[in-house]
Amino acid sequence: MTALVTIEGLSHSFGPVQVLDAVSLAIQPGSYTVLLGPSGSGKTTLLSILGGFLRPTAGRVLIKGKDCTLMAPAKRPTATVFQDYALFPHMSVGSNVAFGLRMKGVAKAERLAKARDMLRIVGLDHAFDQRPHQLSGGQRQRVALARALVVEPAVLLLDEPLGALDLQLRRQMQDELKAIQKRVGTAFVHVTHDQEEAMALADHVVVMNRGRIEDQGPAERVYGRPATRFAATFMGESTIIPGQVDAEGRIATALGVFQAPGLTPGSAACIAIRPEHVHIGPAIPAIVTDVVYQGSFKRVTATPTGAPDIRLLARLPAGAPVRDGAEVSLRFDPAEIIILKD
């Protein structure tokens, strides 16, 4: 499969600050790629370079095999959905959506018809004649999406598109975004710092930190087998326990010795345990230090009596008999632990 977008050795600096450091990435046709990272990780800079709003200090961007690194936004086959939507306040919703076609010289009747069709796809054809300020946040978001999709871009770029919405609307728009992407088949590149959003949407998650890609792949793989310690902590919660690799290639930690194939004997490494892999059972005696009731489960923090420095995080059934300060016995399956090089 040839990649739709190929990013080769992209670096960018704002003055003395390097925000992207030799990033390479391939985006497949029809895929939903999510760039996930904390603020300052370079994800928005990467998106701006893809959209043509920034010229990278070094590296190349190829779209459909063509070098677009220095191509103006107007000329490249990308369209952007901005975080603040950036709708044209003086135009009707219909004219907003038809704007890109107008710039391409499409005749008025045809472009209005296409705009109406695209608004129907996002469920807003009734708002055709309204002004953007008459719409709610979620509706504006959909207009911005329709406006970008109607020009049939090869890649649609979304800059924290759900950031301005409240939580409930956000989860609802998430499902809609995914459905719309499947329906139109365009490749989406979506920037967010919300790992739940990333897991819900992405075919391909790219975890970024300090201008580098920490890990990338299907969400399940990145969550289940993160490549780095940063990826493990940013994609979901976990308990990180430091250890030492012994001569037989096993890692010795305060909670036991585990098989760690492929690690250099004598080096330092870590294991990460996801809270849902920790259960009640006879293995590790611990004292419960915190219980947070979350409705469908209890989020429990416990300190193993044998290793008082560790805060073991567990996701226990809502009915589990745990109380703050009480003794509890926990276990986890060694097959489910994540080995991380330090």
Partner 1 sequence: MMARIASTVYAAAIYGFIFLPVAVLVLFSFQGTLFPIPPFNGPSLRWYHAVLGDARLTAGLTNSLVVAIVTSAIATILGFLAAWGFARFHLPASALLRGLITLPLTVSYLIIGMGLLIFFNWIGLPKSLMAAGIGHVVINLPLCFAIIYSQMGDHQANIERAARDLGAQEWQVLALVTAPILWPALFASFFLSMTFSWDEFVIAFLLTRFDTTLPVEIWNLLRAGLNPKTNAVGSLVFGISIVLAIVFELVAFRKRPQ
Binds partner 1 by CB under 8 A, chosen from 6, 26, 28, 82: 82
Measured distance CA(202)–CA(35) in Å, rounded = 9
Q: How far apart are CB 35 and partner 1 at their closest, in Å?
A: 18
The verdict on 271 binding partner 1 (CB under 8 A) reads no
Measured distance CA(231)–CA(236) in Å, rounded = 9
Q: Which is nearer to partner 1, 151 or 340 (CB)?
A: 151
Q: Which is nearer to partner 1, 27 or 278 (CB)?
A: 27
Q: Tell me, rounded to whole angstroms, the distance of Cα 320 from its chain centroid.
A: 32
Q: Position 108: which residue type?
A: K
Query: What tokens appear for 235 in the block?
Result: 């994609």
**N-terminal to C-terminal alpha carbon distance within the chain:** 34
The answer to whether 257 and 250 have CB atoms below 8 angstroms apart is: yes
The verdict on 115 binding partner 1 (CB under 8 A) reads no
Q: Which is nearer to partner 1, 72 or 335 (CB)?
A: 72
- By CB under 8 A, the residues from 205 to 264 that bind partner 1 are none
The verdict on 80 binding partner 1 (CB under 8 A) reads yes
Q: How far apart are CB 90 and partner 1 at their closest, in Å?
A: 5
Q: Position 134: which residue type?
A: Q
Q: Mask of contacts with partner 1, 139-158, x by CB under 8 A?
A: --------xx--x-------
- By CB under 8 A, the residues from 117 to 136 that bind partner 1 are 131, 133
* φ and ψ of 66, to 5 deg: -105, 135
Partnered with residue 252 across adjacent β-strands are 244, 257
The verdict on 1 binding partner 1 (CB under 8 A) reads no
Q: How far apart are CB 319 and partner 1 at their closest, in Å?
A: 50
Q: At what angle do helices 93-103 and 137-149 cross, to 10 degrees?
A: 20
Residues 6+ apart with CB under 8 A from 220: none
Binds partner 1 by CB under 8 A, chosen from 9, 55, 84, 259: 84
Q: Which is nearer to partner 1, 74 or 335 (CB)?
A: 74
Binds partner 1 by CB under 8 A, chosen from 37, 51, 94, 161: 51
Q: How far apart are CB 84 and partner 1 at their closest, in Å?
A: 6
Number of amino acids touching partner 1 (CB under 8 A): 26
The verdict on 52 binding partner 1 (CB under 8 A) reads yes
Q: Is 223 helix (H, G, I), strand (E, B) or coil?
A: helix
Partnered with residue 23 across adjacent β-strands are 10
Binds partner 1 by CB under 8 A, chosen from 73, 218, 308, 317: 73
Query: What is the sign, positive or negative, of the torsion defined by CA atoms of 23, 29, 34, 39?
Result: positive
